[in-house]
Amino acid sequence: MVGRRRGTSPSVEPAPLDRALLESWALFYLERYANSAEHLRHVLLRRVRRRVGTDGEAVGMAGGLIDALIARYRAAGLLDDVAYAAGQARRGLARGRSLRRIAAGLAAKGVGREDAAAAVAALAKDAADLDLAAACAFARRRRLGPFGPAPPDAVDRRRELAAFARAGFERRAADAVLACADEAAVAALLKGSE
């Protein structure tokens, strides 16, 4: 029994790498996470490489199967990059993420520029100044400015401006939110931007 890992059986062989296995991996992943087609491709290729190692022929064969699987899922509506991008953009805006950070997150997940731009444009119908709305949500979430426990002094204001800058907000939006005295002023600011 020397050299055998605990919990493994010497007679159990891994399932062969075929279309059915790739499909079960893809469906299991999609049950848990909504994602773009490119990110699903990346996840499946990573699992294939973990399974077969450096066997380039097996990875190439699996790549063709993955491409066919993703094309089928797109045709069936299981993968929709436009809907995924719109949902991620709405969620990002509600969480107080800047438009730059939302676009960067979509690009990291493999969403194309056109789909990301369409998602941001769809948000523009709901609010006139998206960056200002996101900055207000960011301030509320981080308890900055009018949402903080006490009015900020000069040092606190610089710290809060730095937090806005790190989050990708323009100075104009940060100054507008931090200039508000209380939550009612923030609501008026948002109403005035419509």
Domain boundaries defined on the chain: 19-76, 81-124, 130-192
Say how far apart CA 194 and CA 81 lie, in whole Å: 29
Residue-wise pLDDT for 14-43, tens only, equals: 666 888 999 999 999 999 988 899 999 999
Q: Which of 188, 167, 14, 3 is closest to 92 using CA atoms?
A: 167
pTM for the whole thing? 0.70
pLDDT-derived band of residue 1, with 50, 70 and 90 as boundaries?
very low
Residue 9 has pLDDT above 70, yes or no: no
